[in-house]
Structure 1
């Protein structure tokens, strides 16, 4: 019994340690991005739309194939005929045929009709070709939309990753700040008990500890918010992430010239929208022209009524099923026809005009986005300069603040200064450490902004 309990406990300990190691596995930025690309709903949806558009291209090509219809029917009924006009309104007229008789009779026999029909619009002034091109333009647009969505997601995940890493560093700094405040509080309380400091100092020290706790709670709340944002972008449950600290251990090498903005995924998508609109305009033009059709019909019929069936010989028919349904007469028809709605150009011209205006509107949207990306690219260079300047200045600030706090603490311990000076030095140190944590992240964020504006995520990814 003891052995089983020991074995069960050992297994539980091993499993618990395994889960802990798995949970603490470092999440690299590349893994985060790949997970987001695989899991994020919008990307998966647009991938399906792109595949659907590719299938539509195949459908558009097959629409040019001729229509081939076959039919067969076997009936039983009478064939009373009558001279006079007839209009089969709505296709509800009965196609019974026979000799006109002076009186109604109920002679009935079997009959059969077997039909094959080919109808092919073999020439319509490029209508089928333009329809295929339009379908291909739709497929290109949806594919570009998918690609730009992946690019946007890569940038969003990278930004969220850097924000979370900065939030975690801030939490660590505020935890250190709480530890410092608590340590100093104990020193103050000891001095107050020994009568070396005024009693108000202990109250102020307690207040500083409470303030440090509140600041730490806010930092933790901010970290949890950023962690939730990263989890949402990755399409995974909210959890605690252990991130790669490479972004706070070094700064990237910044590239000089970037690739042309024409290759930006977002601009490529806008271009594909313009191309699709132009193809639709060309396709609409073809609807104004006539369509030349090739038609072919092969028809076979059978009837239980004999050729001699007439008013003088009403018995020349049979109720035999096979005699009525077997084919006995065949006709064929081959021809070429043309169909042209002469008022169609009046309608299509306005549709073409409307589509031309849509193309101009899409071009205006393209120009606007291009202008915004150029401005963002220029801004990124400024951001890089400023971020590097702050990064180089932060170590000086942190060292000076640390030395000042240490000096004020020593002076206070020796009764040579008051608690206000120590508190002020502590605030300065907190601000310096916060600036340090943010400065590292801002350098990488500036590079990410440049990669986003240039439309080349490899500018950022190659630095990892």
Structure 2
């Protein structure tokens, strides 16, 4: 009878574990590392960081002197007229003598120009830009670490789901074996007229219910495997988790861990606050005067002589006059002082928002650590009580089964004992899960996962 039951369990395992036969075993730390090496959102965060780094170089390149070379050869009329106007970039300037009449004769000209301008001093705006660029890089680096931290949590939770589902499925397998054993005993008793036919029907119902529970757990397990395969980038038919779990380590006192400013979530928020402060400084510096060095040299030729008479066009293609000019210019836009007042006020609100988010994150992490520490002792007491509860439930089931075989107990009492044993076994898994979740909560709050990972390492 036991051999038949074991064969049934074996068939169910083969039906629902075809992808584990050739799979490579993966530990929880391996799963985390595999995900961090190829997950798309992490690549996107890294690319965003590289963009910020390149932007810092772009800012430096914008400070290089502007050096422009220009040369042009022209042919056209040269009718001058006194008066001033704004060219607006639309009116072509003409340099020529004033004449009583408008002439249609042509004149040639040639002009070459070299200019340079270099903003050499602006009362600290360059330094403010550099500090803001560095702050942006720090925010980008913290964002990458923040993304890694979130991905690690997702992988760990998925891995733990698989681990607990595996343990629950083992309970369902044992439950099926026990129910099948009882069902066969009852069937024999009914066939021999010792028990009523109702007992056989109730046993069959219980057996079907046990199998349905098993099938449901298998579906959940397969979904969890697909999710972990998606995260780690492994084919689902080649993925199998390492079920190593140090249960006794849950009874030991964990390491003392504290919340530090180096936590990825806090470091990101802190860098964001600093970045917003640096932007305020840049806003204030941007309205200050700008001091530039200016230099220019040019050469010019024309077919007009000194009396403004038209000469051969070819004579205007050479250079007959040269000039140069150097200077220092200071530029300030007075209305910028009004603009930066409102921009600074706007940025101050952003700083306040960032500081509030930092404080909120600190409170949440500290509460998480305090909560996990406070419930640790209670969970440990529950773990210590598990062996007694499991042994008691097992004895109760065996006693009810013996009483039923001797005609003293009815089928309902035996079914209750079966269900109680399965419930206690599942409760044991639930308590272990709570204990592991508390350890994970402490690791999350402190960003120290070494003590947590030790629960799943082989000794």
- In the alignment, structure 1 segments of 5+ residues that lack a partner are 1-18
The answer on 1:317 being equivalent to 2:312 is yes
Deviation at 1:263, TM superposition (A): 1.6
- Residues 296 and 333, structure 1, Cα contact 8 Å, conserved in 2: yes
- TM-score in terms of structure 2 length: 0.89
Deviation, structure 1 residue 20: 7.2
Return the alpha-carbon distance in structure 2 between the equivalents of residues 21 and 190 of structure 1.
Answer: 37
- Of 341-350 and 378-387, deviating more is 378-387
Q: Find the residue that maps to 2:255 and give its secondary structure.
A: coil
Cα pair 1:29 1:161 within 8 Å, conserved? yes
1:32 and 2:24 aligned: no
* Contact 2:20 2:238 (8 Å CA) reproduced: no
CA shift in 2, pair 1:155/1:198, >3 Å: same
Whether 2:446 is the aligned partner of 1:451: answer no
- Conserved 8 A contact 1:76-1:110: yes
Say what the alpha-carbon RMSD is for the aligned residues: 2.3
- Decide which moves more: 105-114 or 283-292: 105-114
Aligned counterparts of 1:351 and 1:165: Cα–Cα separation in 2: 54
After superposing on structure 2, the runs of 4+ consecutive aligned residues of structure 1 that deviate more than 6 Å are 19-22
1:286 Cα shift? 0.7
- Counterpart Cα distance in 1 of 2:401 and 2:115: 101
Distance 1:226 1:452, change over 3 A: same
**Cα offset for 1:173?**
1.4
In structure 2, what is the equivalent of residue 209 of structure 1?
A: 207
Task: Give the length in aligned residue pairs.
Answer: 438
TM-score (norm 1): 0.88
1:253-299 Cα distance to aligned partner (Å, 9 max, x none): 55332144212110111101100010000111112311111111122
From the superposition, tell whether residues 182 and 328 of structure 1 become closer, same or farther in structure 2 (CA, over 3 Å). Answer: farther
Q: State how far apart, in whole Å, the 2-side matches of 1:366 and 1:119 are.
A: 44
> Could you tell me how far apart the structure 2 residues matched to 1:65 and 1:35 are?
44
For 1:454 and 1:249, how far apart are their aligned partners in 2?
23
Distance 2:385 2:238 in 1: 32
Matched, 1:336 2:328: yes
Please show how residues 177-192 of structure 1 align to structure 2 within 5 Å: 177-192=175-190
- Residue of structure 2 equivalent to 1:279: 278
1:224-269 Cα distance to aligned partner (Å, 9 max, x none): 3333443344355655742111226553555332144212110111
* Cα displacement (A) at 1:67: 2.0
Q: CA deviation at 1:110?
A: 4.3
Query: 2:337 & 2:325 partners in 1: Cα distance?
Result: 32
Aligned to 2:7: none
2:356 alignment partner, one of 361, 364, 370: 364
- Which residue is 1:54 aligned to? 53
Match of 2:224 in 1: 226
Q: 2:98 maps to which residue?
A: 100
Q: Residue 174 of structure 2: which of 176, 186, 193 is its match?
A: 176
Change (3 A) 1:21 1:211: closer
**What's 1:375 paired with?**
367
Cα distance in 2 for partners of 1:240, 1:172 equals: 21
Q: Partners of 2:217 and 2:56 in 1: how far apart?
A: 53
Cα distance in 2 for residues equivalent to 1:201 and 1:67: 97
CA distance in 1, matches of 2:270, 2:37: 26
